[in-house]
Amino acid sequence: MERHEYDVVVIGAGGAGLRAAIEARQQGKRTAIICKSLFGKAHTVMAEGGAAAAMGNVNSDDNWMVHFRDTMRGGKFLNNWRMAELHAKEAPDRVWELEAWGALFDRTKDGKISQRNFGGHEYPRLAHVGDRTGLEMIRTLQQRVVALQQEDFAVHGDYEAYIKVFAECTVTRLLKDDGAISGAFAYWRETGKFIVFDAPAVVLATGGIGKSYVVTSNSWEYTGDGHALALLAGAQLINMEFIQFHPTGMVWPPSVRGILVTESVRGDGGVLRNSLGERFMFNYVPDVFKDKYATSEEEGDRWYTDQANNRRPPELLPRDEVARAINAEVKAGRGSPQGGVFLDVSSRLPAAEIIKRLPSMHHQFKELADVDITKEPMQVGPTCHYIMGGVEVDADTGAASVPGLFAAGEVSGGMHGSNRLGGNSLSDLLVFGRRAGAGASQYVDGLTRRPAVTGVEEAMAEAVAPLERGGGENPYELHHELQRTMNELVGIIRKAGEVGDALDVVEKLKERAHNTASTGGKIYNPGWHLALDLRNMLLVSECVAKAALIREESRGGHTRDDYPGMSPDWRRKLLVCSAPPDGSEVTVVEKEQPSMRDDLITLFDRGELSKYVTEDELAEYDAALAAKKRES
Amino acid sequence: MGYKAKFRVWRGEGGDGKLEDFTVEVNEGEVVLDVIHRLQATQAPDLAVRWNCKAGKCGSCSMEINGKPRLGCMTRMSTFEEADTITVTPMRTFPVIKDLVCDVSFNYQKAREIPSFTPPADVRPGEYRMQQIDVERSQEFRKCIECFMCNNVCHVIRDHEENKTNFAGPRFLMRIAELDMHPYDVADRKDAAQEEHGLGYCNITKCCTEVCPEHIKITDNALIPMKERVVDRKYDPLVWLGNKIFRR
Ligand SMILES: Cc1cc2nc3c(=O)[nH]c(=O)nc-3n(C[C@H](O)[C@H](O)[C@H](O)COP(=O)(O)OP(=O)(O)OC[C@H]3O[C@@H](n4cnc5c(N)ncnc54)[C@H](O)[C@@H]3O)c2cc1C
């Protein structure tokens, strides 16, 4: 069997994985990058709007503290505040670094990186390139990897001496030795042959889980592999009940349902209307945000040109608010003909400007839906987009609870709390990708012996099983059933009874998944690949549903019809999922979230905090504030 | 408005294979990739095809549809008549692995042979200052989603395997132009473009421009200007130096 030795193995070649690998290689570690698709095609390529970083290029009042506050507010204060702090402080450096590696962002008049408005961000903050920022980011990181390979070639005569990409290669198990990571087991998609990575440190950067839902902006890669690999290796997942339904996905034609319509459409002036022509978002500003958003269309419109003297329009509320509002309008019978609402930018900007600012949206609607967005409104509705939950990690190093295991990017949990702000993912990938790469390198430096690879036989038996069964379940059918179930029963609005039903279905599907059969051989066989992905999707869906059933409140990406309010007591609680190595059953336990550091909590004013936290926490805040005053 | 369409799809591994006939349901608004997926789910579970974003952003699902290089996800079924037989084959210039999936490693090798972005040593991250108008030329080329259809269609290598060693293809000649036009790149790329990467093989038939799903004007905006720069350079190296300084 093919076998390779590395210091650090990074699973995933999106923004987080590439940034982690670059860091590990820059710290002198022999690094492998493994990915399911071709190099340069990871999900990050689809990101449109931009990367949030408080550089203050467009509004000089912006700084890390404002960004930190916005992030915590967006996440309804459930965020791991240390991650939110590091993220806000380090994002500008990470974006500037991309520029030094060749990225070409759009510019301000004075030649700096331009920044655009996005939901939940107080100031224009998203570095962008039109509406194809993810492409720019992934290409830049890919080209940085190539640059490092060229350096290695110059010195060692081998491009792959220190960093090598294993593309179209899927990891199905993490390997361990005496409780610590010792490597990973994978198969080549092209040949079906197996491959073992012998490495003391693994960084998971596998992205999200959207393929458990029918209507999603995510691609086939998003089968929750990293989440499942971590669970099966003994690590914990947190916040799995929080899933972001992006408010604006395409709703027609059916084959493109769910494909994303970037938030930049709203950031650049697009407005939402129902079938009566009303700008309904004005009716959905929640109490906690009342004083931050415009109360009239006139004020909202003025904000685009004069932000100092006006409040932003409610179309730019955090995503969970907008998604619920659209959902409610459609349910109330005020939806568009194709089951969404109208998003109009044509009456707000000249055609040439729309094509310049939103080229790929213009192209996407024209090619896929015969809609010219410079002339007519789009029809949009919520789509499963992003999972806030993921591997529980140490904020500073990305380390999971299993020694040698690290995670960064969408597969990690905590940073975004119960709801992620747009643009905060791309910056998250860079900040925590780098930190996880560094964390893994340090971990390797501290080892006194290399752990031994074990468990290869078992991993191989598990992987070939669907090919060896004579007959059995069709993996495509199981997948469709899971997607429908999650969409209908654990979607944007949840009820105890329905989530319970979903769990029953998942339980039965898990049984059936043990009996999938894939026809055909090992060479590039998608039916076989899907059969293996099913284990992961089912495990992750079980986590989502179980946590959703336990959390009896509504917050961010978790809305319970039977518990519509946000509860300060629940704010302090994280739900932690774990599972045995065979994945037979997910257990969920509650864990208390540590109190925010004094210098961070005092960045908020009391009035705002009181909407989120308990009386006890307010007393702590008062004490912290008094101490701060005494010092100054 | 669903109907049954006739599809002929290339099936096979390595060098061997043949076109197989399928009759398959098509629904309103669907694209060719949707139909391929339906074939997988209902008739040919091991049919190999690459795809990712399904929105024309990742460049994975390049294939030849009725002989023309296209992205499967951006080719609407409504562009065909219901009676048409639609033939789907893998890209011809690259070796086939299985069905619609080719070995595109040629492209990654070429990418690695082009010297990377080379900024001046004294500019630190955060200090870059560039005008929009100066970055726009390179930005156009950075829209490339690496579907590799331009390299697939380029006759220099499509019909001449022997040229592959000496020719980077439109994708990577455009990458050289992109770097050459980057306001902060200080590397001298002209001689290498001509001598190592085969710019001279290009006789500007614009096939690459025609197939580009991003509508990048590869020939007019990248290859021809690059050829001009190479020629200028041959006359007068000072022109090159002057250009570089002037552009700051
Ligand atoms: C349409 C769309 C638009 C978006 N726009 C924005 C935006 O404007 N701003 C923003 O901040 N965020 C945006 N997001 C979110 C953001 O793009 C993602 O959260 C982010 O790109 C995830 O990056 P990642 O590095 O964690 O993973 P990804 O980029 O998804 O990469 C995952 C990698 O892991 C690999 N992988 C997975 N499983 C395995 C396995 N078992 N074995 C081997 N490899 C594996 C995959 O092949 C892939 O290389 C958008 C998301 C979508 C879908």
pLDDT at residue B102 tops 50: yes
Collect contacts of A328-335 with beta carbons under 8 A, ≥24 apart: A328/A284, A329/A274, A329/A280, A330/A381, A334/A274, A334/A275, A334/A276, A334/A278, A334/A280, A335/A274, A335/A275, A335/A381
CATH code of the domain covering residue A367: 3.90.700.10
Distances (CA, A) of B58 to A37, A191, A262, A483: 10, 23, 16, 24
CB A417 within 8 A of CB A575: no
Question: Is the CB of A520 inside 8 Å of chain B's CB atoms?
Answer: yes
pLDDT category of residue B237 using cuts at 50, 70 and 90:
low
Task: Kindly report the CATH number assigned to the domain that includes residue B88.
Answer: 3.10.20.30
- How far does residue A139's CA lie from ligand 1's centre (Å)? 14
Q: Which residues contact B197 (CB under 8 A, 6 or more apart)?
A: B110, B113, B114, B167, B168, B172, B173, B176
Q: Are residues B15 and B122 in the same domain?
A: no
Mutate to test the interface with B, among A135, A248, A357 (most CBs of B within 10 A): A135
Q: Of the candidates B102, B118, B151, which is a domain's last residue?
A: B102
Closest residue on chain A to B105 (Cα): A38
Of ligand 1's listed atoms, the one at least distance from the Cα of A409 is 26
Would you give the end-to-end CA distance of chain A in angstroms? 65
Per-residue pLDDT for B245 more than 60?
A: no
Using the mean position of ligand 1's atoms as its centre, give its distance from the Cα of residue B214 in Å: 22
- The CA distance from A515 to B182, in Å, is 55
CA of B215 to the centre of ligand 1 (A): 25
Tell me which DSSP letter residue B166 carries: G
Domain boundary pick from A353, A385, A417: A385
pLDDT at residue A471, rounded to an integer = 86
What DSSP line would sit under A212-251, residue for residue?
Answer: GSSSBS--TT-S-HHHHHHHHTT--EE-TT-EEEEEEEE-
Distances (CA, A) of A414 to A71, A394, B132: 12, 10, 37
Whether residue B188 is found in the same domain as residue B176 = yes
Burial of A611 (0-12, 13-18, 19+ CB in 10 A): middle
Report the alpha-carbon distance of residue A242 to residue B85 in Å, rounded: 46
By C-alpha distance, the chain A residue nearest B76 is A368
- Please state, in angstroms and rounded to a whole number, the distance separating the CA atoms of residues A124 and A54: 9
* Min Cα separation B29/chain A (Å): 5
A42 C-alpha to ligand 1 centroid (Å): 6
| C-beta of A386 in contact with ligand 1 (< 6 A) | yes
Residues B212 and B119 in one domain: yes
pLDDT, tens digit, for every residue of A253-270? 888 899 999 988 998 899
**Which residues from A are below 8 Å from B141, CB to CB?**
none
Same domain for B196 and B121: yes
**A390 part of a folded domain:** no
Backbone angles phi, psi at A246, to 5 degrees: -70, 135
Give the largest Cα separation in chain A, rounded: 76
**A231, A586 Cβ separation under 8 angstroms:** yes
Instruction: Tell me how crowded residue A276 is: count the other CB atoms within 10 A of its CB.
Output: 8
**φ, ψ of residue B49 in degrees (nearest 5):** -150, 145
Cis amide bond preceding B119, omega within 30:
no
Same domain, B110 and B94: no
The answer to whether B46 contacts A527, with C-beta atoms less than 8 Å apart, is yes
Using CA atoms, how far residue A271 sits from A118, A263, A419, A556, in Å, is 13, 11, 22, 22
Residue whose C-alpha is closest to residue B66's, from B9, B128, B142: B9
Report the C-alpha gap between A75 and A73 in whole angstroms: 5
Looking at the fold, whether B120 and B242 belong to one and the same domain comes out as yes
Interface of A with B in 159-178 (CB under 8 A): 159
A132 is written with which tokens?
A: 């194809």
Residues 6+ apart with CB under 8 A from A464: none
CATH of residue B148? 1.10.1060.10
CB contact under 8 A, B54 and A40: no
B102, B134, B150 - which closes a domain? B102
Same domain, B9 and B90: yes
Low-confidence residues of chain A, pLDDT below 70?
Answer: none
What is the predicted pLDDT for the residue at A30?
Answer: 98
Q: Which of A339, A362, A385 is the last residue of a domain?
A: A385
Q: Using CA atoms, how far apart are residues A418 and A416, in angstroms rounded to an integer?
A: 6
Q: A222 lies in a domain?
A: no
Query: Which class for A182: exposed (0-12), middle (13-18), buried (19 or more C-beta within 10 A)?
Result: buried
Of A182, A235, A532, which Cα lies nearest the Cα of A391?
A235
Q: Is A540 in the pocket of ligand 1 (CB under 6 A)?
A: no
Nearest-CB residue to A104 (from B45, B54, B135): B135
Contact between B124 and A100 using a beta-carbon 8 Å cutoff:
yes
Looking at the fold, whether B123 and B44 belong to one and the same domain comes out as: no
- Select the residue from B142, B144, B178 to test the A interface by mutation, using most A Cβ atoms within 10 A: B142
Contact: A107, B130; criterion CB under 8 Å? yes
Cβ neighbours for B113, distance < 8 A, ≥ 6 positions apart: B168, B172, B196, B197
The answer on B69 and B49 residing in a single domain is yes
Whether residue B17 contacts residue B88, with contact meaning beta carbons closer than 8 Å, is answered with: no
Q: What is d(CA A534, CA A254) in angstroms, rounded to the nearest whole number? A: 24
Whether residue B242 is predicted with pLDDT greater than 70 in this model: the reply is no
Q: Does A376 touch chain B (CB under 8 A)?
A: no
Cα–Cα separations (whole angstroms), residue A62 to A56, A358, A526:
5, 25, 48
The average pLDDT across B210-221 equals: 96
Q: Pairing between strand A31-35 and A163-167?
A: parallel
Ligand 1 mean position to A489 CA, how many Å?
Answer: 25
- To the query of whether residue A69 is one of the catalytic residues in this protein, the response is no
Tokens of A188: 């080549």
Tell me, what DSSP letter sits at residue A473?
B
- Domain residues for the domain of A624 are 598-631
CB of A218 within 6 A of ligand 1: the answer is yes
Inter-residue contact A208 to A387 (CB < 8 Å): yes
Q: How many residues does chain A have?
A: 632
Q: How many domains does chain B have?
A: 2
* Inside any domain, residue A6: no
> Do residues B217 and B140 lie in contact, with contact meaning Cβ atoms separated by under 8 Å?
yes
A116 residue type, one letter: R
Beta-bridge partners for A113 = A107
CB contact under 8 A, B56 and A41: no
Q: What is the pLDDT of residue A64?
A: 98
Into how many domains does chain A fold? 2
Catalytic residue among A30, A189, A319, A435: A319
- What is the rounded distance in angstroms from the CA atom of residue A605 to the CA atom of residue A618? 11
Q: How far is A564 from chain B (nearest CA, A)?
A: 35
Q: Is a pLDDT exceeding 90 seen at residue B231? A: no
pLDDT digits (tens, 9 = 90+) for B9-35: 999 998 899 999 999 999 988 999 999
Q: What's the gap between Cα A374 and its chain centre?
A: 30
A484 to chain B, any CB pair closer than 8 A? The answer is: no
Q: How many helices (H) and strands (E) does chain A have?
A: 19, 21
Q: Which of B39, B72, B102 represents a domain boundary (last residue)?
A: B102
Outline where B129-168 has alpha helix (H): 132-142, 149-153, 155-158
User: Are the beta carbons of B130 and B183 closer than 8 angstroms?
Assistant: yes
pLDDT at A158: 97
The domain boundary residue, chosen from A366, A385, A404: A385
Best residue in B24, B31, B46 to probe A by mutation, most A CBs within 10 Å?
B46
**How many other C-beta atoms can be found within 10 angstroms of the C-beta atom of residue A445?**
11
Residues of A in contact with B46 (CB under 8 A): 518-521, 524-528
A572 domain-assigned: no
User: With a 6 A CB cut-off, is A423 part of the ligand 1 pocket?
Assistant: yes
Q: Do A150 and B116 touch (CB under 8 A)?
A: yes
Torsion sign (Cα): A13, A16, A18, A20: negative
- Helices assigned H by DSSP within A239-397: 264-267, 297-303, 319-331, 351-357, 359-369
C-alpha of residue A303 to centroid of ligand 1, in Å: 32
Domain co-membership, B72 together with B121: no
Chain A positions in Cβ-Cβ contact with residue B36 (cut-off 8 Å)? none
- The answer to whether residues A231 and A583 touch, using CB atoms and an 8 Å cutoff, is yes
Q: What ipTM was estimated for this complex?
A: 0.93
Tokens of A577: 């999922």
Q: Which residues of A307-345 are buried (b: 16+ CB within 10 A; e: fewer)?
A: beebbbbbbbbbbbbbbbbbbebbeeebbbeeebbbbbb
Within 13 Å and on the Cβ side, how many CA atoms surround B168? Answer: 26
Q: Let me know: does A9 contact A201? Beta carbons within 8 Å.
A: yes
Q: Is A10 in the pocket of ligand 1 (CB under 6 A)?
A: no
- Enclosing domain of residue B181: 105-246
pLDDT at B236: 52
Please answer yes or no on whether B128 and A96 come within 8 Å at the CB atom: yes
% of chain B residues with pLDDT over 70 = 93
> B57: nearest CA in chain A?
A46
- Test A102 with B182 for CB contact under 8 angstroms: yes
Rg (CA), chain B: 21
Residue in chain A lying closest to B128 (CA):
A112
Measured in angstroms, how far is the CA atom of residue A16 from the centroid of ligand 1? 8
Contact A100 B59 (CB under 8 A): no
Instruction: Please check whether residue B73 is in contact with residue B61, taking contact to mean a CB–CB distance below 8 angstroms.
Output: yes
Q: Are residues B76 and B182 in the same domain?
A: no
Separation of first and last alpha carbons in chain B = 58
Strands A412-413 and A390-392: parallel
Same domain, B168 and B213: yes
Residue A520 with chain B: CB contacts under 8 Å: 45-46
Q: Which of A45, A288, A19, A254 shows the shortest CA–CA distance to A141?
A: A19
